[in-house]
Structure 1
Amino acid sequence: MRSLFVASLPLLFAAPLAAKDGLGVFGDWGAFRDASVPRCYAISSPIPDRGATNRGAYASVGTWPRQRIRGQVYFKLSRPAPSKSATLRIGRQSFALRSEGDGAWARDAKMDAAIVSAMRSASEMTVRSRGPDGRSYSATYRLGGAASALDAATLACARRK
């Protein structure tokens, strides 16, 4: 599966990664630096599903040194979430995310930190929401390599202050 992820990474994230520096691929996660902003982030695509309902979805954890933002969690959902909420499940922990349009994120920096901590010790995470048609949908992400990708992104921006 890792080779599929590595091979598809340029195609899946071509737009978000234009003119970015690759820091490495760690399991199911990639780490990148965008010196022009500056920002650094770890990113992954969900486990593919048969119906391709997760097309365009990704999970990321970003750092923006100039804004003093570190470890901000963001999910690009595969479709809009009009319910204004999404739920993230990591192991036995559940987090009520804020959502708007096709994006979902932690409610505050404290929740970001709790999510990142949970990601470091779990094998996968699942974000769930409801689509415009009222039907629920989810995307599951493997967390193998997430801790290393998070560390690579954080260190890359720490060196570039």
Structure 2
Amino acid sequence: MRVAISFLLLVTVGLGLAPAAAARTAIGQYGRWGAFRDDRAGGCYVIAMPKRGEGFAAVAAPPAVPRLTVRLSRAAQAGSVSALIDGTRYLLSGGGRDAALAGRRMVVVLRGGERLRLSAREPGGRRFVDDYDLAGLPSALDAATIACLPR
């Protein structure tokens, strides 16, 4: 568990999710999802890596604005990124390797889902997917939410 949390912390530092490692505290590891508190940014989030390849999916924990933020395994055409969660498709905004979707509904769907499949088209038109297991996400979000309650 410590290795997985350390690896996710390293990924968040390497991808620039927050400016300094000292500002982040690992809350716990829940399945493939790590929960973190970021005192500099004033919030908490959960993050996971896809089953294969590079990239990540992160969800801001309340009281922050609910938001799914992803770093895709490859660059994508703008407007081509979608998230399929247990049969329902959502269009994400963004392009290149980064995309996002904000809203409470998204977080409710993620919490109740089993699998997140991100689908996009490379600049050349070829489709690719990044798959995530959602087991552990609800517990990670709960832990992150509790960690960010006002003290």
> What amino acid is aligned across from residue 61 of structure 1 in structure 2?
V
> What amino acid is aligned across from residue 133 of structure 2 in structure 1?
R
> What amino acid is aligned across from residue 42 of structure 1 in structure 2?
V
Match of 2:30 in 1: 26
Q: Structure 2 residue aligned with 1:75, among 57, 70, 89?
A: 70
Structure 1 residue 98: deviation in Å?
0.9
Structure 1 residue 114: deviation in Å?
1.8
Structure 1 residue 154: deviation in Å?
1.8
Match of 2:88 in 1: 93
* Rounded Cα–Cα distance in structure 1 between residues aligned with 2:123 and 2:147: 38
Superposed CA deviations along residues 56-115 of structure 1, whole A, max 9, x for unmatched, are: x100111475xxx33211111122222323110010211111122211111xx4xx2222
The worse-fitting range, judged by mean Cα deviation, of 14-23 and 131-140 is 14-23
What residue ranges of structure 2 are gaps of 5+ in the alignment?
none
Identity %: 33
* Rounded Cα–Cα distance in structure 2 between residues aligned with 1:148 and 1:64: 13
> What amino acid is aligned across from residue 22 of structure 1 in structure 2?
A
Superposed CA deviations along residues 93-143 of structure 1, whole A, max 9, x for unmatched, are: 11111122211111xx4xx22221111222111010011222111100001
TM-score of the aligned structures, taking structure 1 as reference length: 0.79
Structure 1 residues 64 and 146 mapped into 2: Cα distance closer, same or farther (>3 Å)? closer
Q: Tell me if the contact between 2:46 and 2:61 (Cα under 8 Å) persists in the aligned partners.
A: no
Q: Tell me if the contact between 2:62 and 2:145 (Cα under 8 Å) persists in the aligned partners.
A: no
* Rounded Cα–Cα distance in structure 1 between residues aligned with 2:39 and 2:56: 21
Structure 1 residues 5 and 37 mapped into 2: Cα distance closer, same or farther (>3 Å)? closer
Q: Tell me if the contact between 1:38 and 1:64 (Cα under 8 Å) persists in the aligned partners.
A: no
What is the count of residue pairs matched by the alignment?
146
Matched, 1:115 2:106: yes
* Coordinate RMSD, CA, aligned: 2.3
Structure 1 residues 158 and 146 mapped into 2: Cα distance closer, same or farther (>3 Å)? same
What residue ranges of structure 1 are gaps of 5+ in the alignment?
49-53
Match of 1:103 in 2: 98
Superposed CA deviations along residues 2-25 of structure 1, whole A, max 9, x for unmatched, are: 898557434533424622100100
* Partner SS for 2:92: strand
Q: Structure 2 residue aligned with 1:41, among 40, 45, 51?
A: 45
Structure 1 residues 138 and 5 mapped into 2: Cα distance closer, same or farther (>3 Å)? farther
TM-score of the aligned structures, taking structure 2 as reference length: 0.83
* Partner SS for 1:47: coil
